[in-house]
């Protein structure tokens, strides 16, 4: 009879994968991920059938974590600018607090190893956020663009904001506000 899988080992594998993928990209060797998790490489494949399953699992884990951070306490009944600012502040907070997770998500998001099924699960998890972005894109400068364009603009400005916060943590509030102001003017004015 097979032993039950340990949640601690699975978590250790995903934490190690986050660090290794952030530093080396999706071509990082599974042996390095296993070593970082303190498990044998064969043990890694007990939890994830193959490397693609591991990368997709990591992508889902990180995106779910990001979504939870952004949407916790979401002020659904408030104005578009208040909802957008809420999401922005939490996105910047998550990315600034977890630079390796942020880097790993960026690596995974552009990888052809992430399946359409994983992308669909993430899109469904971000439903309320996607609705908000559609609302942002419906007016102002983005009214003739798809909502994904407004989301891409948000991501680009957020990345710049988080990069500056990492260099100058004492200026986090200033950069968070300036980044949001730039995003808002780009999409809603």
* 83 contacts 129 by C-beta, under 8 angstroms: no
Helical (H) or strand (E) element with 150? helix 147-167
Report the pLDDT value the prediction gives residue 141, as an integer from 0 to 100.
80
Tokens found for residue 13: 């594998």
Task: Tell me the average pLDDT of the chain.
Answer: 94
Kindly list the domain boundaries of the chain, sorted by start residue: 51-187
Report the pLDDT value the prediction gives residue 2, as an integer from 0 to 100.
53
Distance CA 13, CA 46 (A): 11
pLDDT bracket for residue 142 (50, 70, 90): confident
Distance CA 21, CA 187 (A): 32
Architecture of domain 51-187: Orthogonal Bundle (1.10)
Helical (H) or strand (E) element with 71? helix 51-71
* 108 contacts 100 by C-beta, under 8 angstroms: no
Mean pLDDT over residues 110-123, rounded? 96
pLDDT bracket for residue 3 (50, 70, 90): low
pLDDT bracket for residue 4 (50, 70, 90): low
pTM above 0.85, yes or no: yes
Mean pLDDT over residues 115-131, rounded? 93
Residue with tokens 């991920």: 33
Tokens found for residue 10: 């699975």
The percentage of residues in the chain with a pLDDT greater than 70, rounded to a whole number, is 98
């Amino acid at each position: 009879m097979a032993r039950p899988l340990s949640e601690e080992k699975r978590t250790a594998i995903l934490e190690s994968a986050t660090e290794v993928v952030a530093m080396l990209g999706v071509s990082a060797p599974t042996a390095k991920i296993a070593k970082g998790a303190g498990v044998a490489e064969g043990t890694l494949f007990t939890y994830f059938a193959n490397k693609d399953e591991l990368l997709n699992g990591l992508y889902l884990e990180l995106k779910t974590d990001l979504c939870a951070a952004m949407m916790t306490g979401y002020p659904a009944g408030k104005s578009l600018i208040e909802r957008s600012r809420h999401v922005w502040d939490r996105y910047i907070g998550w990315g600034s607090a977890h630079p390796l997770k942020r880097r790993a998500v960026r690596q995974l998001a552009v990888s052809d190893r992430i399946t359409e099924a994983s992308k669909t699960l993430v899109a469904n998890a971000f439903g309320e956020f996607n609705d908000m972005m559609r609302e942002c894109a419906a007016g102002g400068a983005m009214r003739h663009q798809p909502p994904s364009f407004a989301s891409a603009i948000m991501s680009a400005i957020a990345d710049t904001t988080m990069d500056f916060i990492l260099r100058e943590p004492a200026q986090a509030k200033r950069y968070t506000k300036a980044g949001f102001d730039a995003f808002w003017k780009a999409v809603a004015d």
